[in-house]
A and B are shown apart, each in its own frame.
Chain A
Amino acid sequence: DTEVTQTPKHLVMGMTNKKSLKCEQHMGHRAMYWYKQKAKKPPELMFVYSYEKLSINESVPSRFSPECPNSSLLNLHLHALQPEDSALYLCASSQDPGTKNIQYFGAGTRLSVL
């Protein structure tokens, strides 16, 4: 099983709303990632969690707040977003941090900020 599950699949929110994206994997992977993908562009790395600890924050604005409650679950809390934050948000996981492991991606959450 190489499944990474993301919920919701679609999300529409206003600029004053607070919402959360959820990502789950049951492959025993210890590295989890958040990527942002704008339309017709490549994915861009946002955050990396290694063994439930935040190891990489690629200068992401504080209106995005990641959380890793346990080794299987990764959340992305959203607050006061801007319309330019509308994008596909992809979660990925890999077996071990810092090794030559394939990242497995979820189907993504398509976010629209009005």
Chain B
Amino acid sequence: ELKVEQNPLFLSMQEGKNYTIYCNYSTTSDRLYWYRQDPGKSLESLFVLLSNGAVKQEGRLMASLDTKARLSTLHITAAVHDLSATYFCAVDPTGANNLFFGTGTRLTVIP
């Protein structure tokens, strides 16, 4: 059974602090996606990681992928309140662009 687990499920952090969200998956996937979802809203694409060792950065967020360990990380640098949202990773186990989402991490940044 395919499992995509995120850790932590809930994260409350102060503005200005750094933290990392982890995404572990149980099957091979040649790509990994990170999405953001604000409450009651749709999903916004953040990153697509296409190969082992891939690293992508956008603003205060940086994502990396280790396909051998089946692990992706989303690192938050100097958090600001606007980053408060739920973050999902997603894998594509069939290679047909059919996404299987992780459990989600609900991030709250406290002023």
The chain B residue with its CB closest to the CB of A107 is B42
A45 to B42, CA, bound (A): 15
On whether the beta carbons of A56 and B31 are closer than 8 Å, the reply is no
Interface size of B by CB at 8 A reads 22
Interface size of A by CB at 8 A reads 27
Partner of B104, one of A42, A92, A107: A42
Chain B positions within 8 Å of A94 at CB level: 97
B-facing residues in A79-98 (Cβ within 8 Å): 90, 92, 94, 97-98
The chain A residue with its CB closest to the CB of B96 is A98
Say yes or no for B50: interface residue by CB 8 A criterion: yes
B interface, CB within 8 angstroms of A: 31, 33, 35, 40-45, 48, 50, 88, 95-104
